[in-house]
Chains A and B, each alone.
Chain A
Amino acid sequence: MVVKMEVDGKDPKAVKKDLMWIEKYRPTSMDDVLSHQDTVLTLKKLIDGKRLPHLLFYGPPGTGKTSTILACAREMYGKTLGSMVLELNASDDRGINVVRDQIKTFASTKRIFSSGVKLIILDEADAMTSAAQMALRRVIEKYTQNTRFCMICNYVNKIIPALQSRCTRFRFGPLKREDLIARLGEICKIENVSIEDEAISALVDLSEGDMRKCLNILQSTDMAEAAKNGRITAAAVYANTGNPTPAEIEECLQWLLNDDFNTCSRKLSGLLEKGLALSDIIREIHKFMMLSSLPTKARIFLYKELGEIEFMLSKGVHEKLPLNALVGVFKATAMLAVEEGQGATG
Chain B
Amino acid sequence: MDIGDRASVLSTPWVEKYRPVKIKDVAHQTEVVAALEQAVERGGGNLPHLLFYGPPGTGKTSLALALVREIFPKEILSQRVLELNASDERGIRVVREKIKGFAQGAVGQAKVKDGKTIPSFKVIILDEADAVTGEAQTALRRTMETYSTVTRFVLICNYISRIIAPLASRCAKFRFQPLPTEVSFNRLSMICKSEQVTASEDLLKLIITRTNGDLRKALMTLQSASRMVPHGSEIGDKEIALASGEVPQELLERFRSAMFADSSFENVQSVVDDVVLGGYPADGLLHQLCDLLVEEDYAELDELQKSALIMKMARAESCLADGASERLQLLDVGARGMYISKSRENSSSLFKV
Which residues of A are in contact with B by a Cβ distance under 8 Å? Answer: 17-23, 60-62, 89-93, 123-124, 126-127, 154, 210, 212-213, 216-217, 219-220, 223-224, 226-228, 239-242, 260-262, 265-266, 272-275, 277, 279, 297, 300-301, 305, 308-309, 311-318, 320-322, 324-325, 327-329, 331-332, 335-336, 339
* A325 cross-chain contacts in B, Cβ below 8 A: 310-311, 313-315
Contact A272 B178 (CB under 8 A): yes
| Alpha-carbon separation in the docked complex, A304 to B72 (Å) | 51
- Residue from the set A219, A312, A321 with the largest chain B CB neighbour count within 10 Å: A321
- CB-contact partner of A127 in B138, B143, B321, under 8 A: B138
| Alpha-carbon separation in the docked complex, A328 to B353 (Å) | 15
Tell whether B49 is near chain A: CB-to-CB under 8 Å. Answer: yes
Contact B296 A262 (CB under 8 A): yes
Contact A89 B142 (CB under 8 A): yes
Contact B158 A316 (CB under 8 A): yes
- Residue from the set B95, B142, B296 with the largest chain A CB neighbour count within 10 Å: B142
Contact B172 A217 (CB under 8 A): yes
Within the complex, what minimum Cβ distance (angstroms) separates A125 from chain B?
A: 11
Number of residue pairs across A and B with beta carbons under 8 Å?
207
Tell whether B317 is near chain A: CB-to-CB under 8 Å. Answer: yes
Question: Interface readout for B158-184 with A: 1 if CB under 8 Å, 0 if not?
Answer: 110110011011111111011010000
Question: Interface readout for B188-208 with A: 1 if CB under 8 Å, 0 if not?
Answer: 000000000000000000000
Contact A62 B169 (CB under 8 A): yes
Contact B140 A322 (CB under 8 A): no
* B35 cross-chain contacts in A, Cβ below 8 A: 220, 223-224, 240
**In the complex with contacts A20-B46, A216-B48, A322-B314 CB distance below 8 A:** yes
* A324 cross-chain contacts in B, Cβ below 8 A: 290, 293-294, 310, 314
Tell whether B257 is near chain A: CB-to-CB under 8 Å. Answer: no
Contact B141 A18 (CB under 8 A): no
* B170 cross-chain contacts in A, Cβ below 8 A: 22, 212, 216
Tell me which of B18-26, B247-255, B301-309 binds A: B301-309
| Alpha-carbon separation in the docked complex, A260 to B306 (Å) | 11
Contact B178 A22 (CB under 8 A): no
Contact B46 A301 (CB under 8 A): no
Contact B48 A219 (CB under 8 A): yes
**In the complex with contacts A93-B96, A241-B175, A331-B139 CB distance below 8 A:** no
- CB-contact partner of A61 in B38, B148, B159, B166, under 8 A: B166
* B31 cross-chain contacts in A, Cβ below 8 A: 224, 239-240
- CB-contact partner of A314 in B34, B141, B161, under 8 A: B161
**In the complex with contacts A61-B169, A324-B294, A316-B162 CB distance below 8 A:** yes
Contact B306 A261 (CB under 8 A): yes
Closest to A313 in B: B161
| Alpha-carbon separation in the docked complex, A308 to B316 (Å) | 12
* A312 cross-chain contacts in B, Cβ below 8 A: 314-315, 317-318, 321
Contact B307 A327 (CB under 8 A): yes
* B293 cross-chain contacts in A, Cβ below 8 A: 324
| Alpha-carbon separation in the docked complex, A219 to B39 (Å) | 11
**In the complex with contacts A315-B322, A324-B290, A328-B311, A17-B45 CB distance below 8 A:** yes
Contact A127 B139 (CB under 8 A): yes
* A228 cross-chain contacts in B, Cβ below 8 A: 34
| Alpha-carbon separation in the docked complex, A241 to B34 (Å) | 14
- CB-contact partner of B142 in A124, A239, A315, A331, under 8 A: A124
**In the complex with contacts A273-B178, A316-B159, A336-B351, A216-B303 CB distance below 8 A:** no
* B351 cross-chain contacts in A, Cβ below 8 A: 301, 332, 335-336
- CB-contact partner of B120 in A18, A89, A90, A261, under 8 A: A18
Contact B139 A90 (CB under 8 A): yes
* A322 cross-chain contacts in B, Cβ below 8 A: 314
Closest to A301 in B: B353
Contact A23 B310 (CB under 8 A): no
Contact B166 A154 (CB under 8 A): yes
Within the complex, what minimum Cβ distance (angstroms) separates A280 from chain B?
A: 9
Contact A328 B48 (CB under 8 A): no
Closest to A212 in B: B169
* A61 cross-chain contacts in B, Cβ below 8 A: 165-166, 169
Contact A91 B314 (CB under 8 A): no
Closest to A279 in B: B161
Tell whether B267 is near chain A: CB-to-CB under 8 Å. Answer: no
* B165 cross-chain contacts in A, Cβ below 8 A: 60-61, 154
Closest to B177 in A: A275
Closest to A154 in B: B166
| Alpha-carbon separation in the docked complex, A335 to B306 (Å) | 13
Closest to A331 in B: B307
Tell whether B270 is near chain A: CB-to-CB under 8 Å. Answer: no
| Alpha-carbon separation in the docked complex, A315 to B178 (Å) | 19
Tell whether B286 is near chain A: CB-to-CB under 8 Å. Answer: yes
Return the 7 tightest CB-CB contacts between A and B, nearest first.
Answer: A328-B307, A242-B175, A275-B177, A220-B172, A89-B142, A325-B314, A224-B35
Contact A260 B303 (CB under 8 A): yes
Closest to A321 in B: B314
- CB-contact partner of B290 in A227, A260, A301, A320, under 8 A: A320
* A332 cross-chain contacts in B, Cβ below 8 A: 304, 307-308, 311, 350-351
Extra A-B contacts (5), CB below 8 Å, given A20-B46, A324-B293, A329-B311: A227-B38, A241-B173, A262-B296, A317-B314, A332-B350
Tell whether B100 is near chain A: CB-to-CB under 8 Å. Answer: yes
| Alpha-carbon separation in the docked complex, A90 to B143 (Å) | 9
Closest to B165 in A: A61
Residues of B104-131 whose CB lies within 8 A of A: 110, 119-121, 130
| Alpha-carbon separation in the docked complex, A18 to B110 (Å) | 10
Tell whether B145 is near chain A: CB-to-CB under 8 Å. Answer: yes
Question: Interface readout for B24-57 with A: 1 if CB under 8 Å, 0 if not?
Answer: 0000000110111111000001111100000000
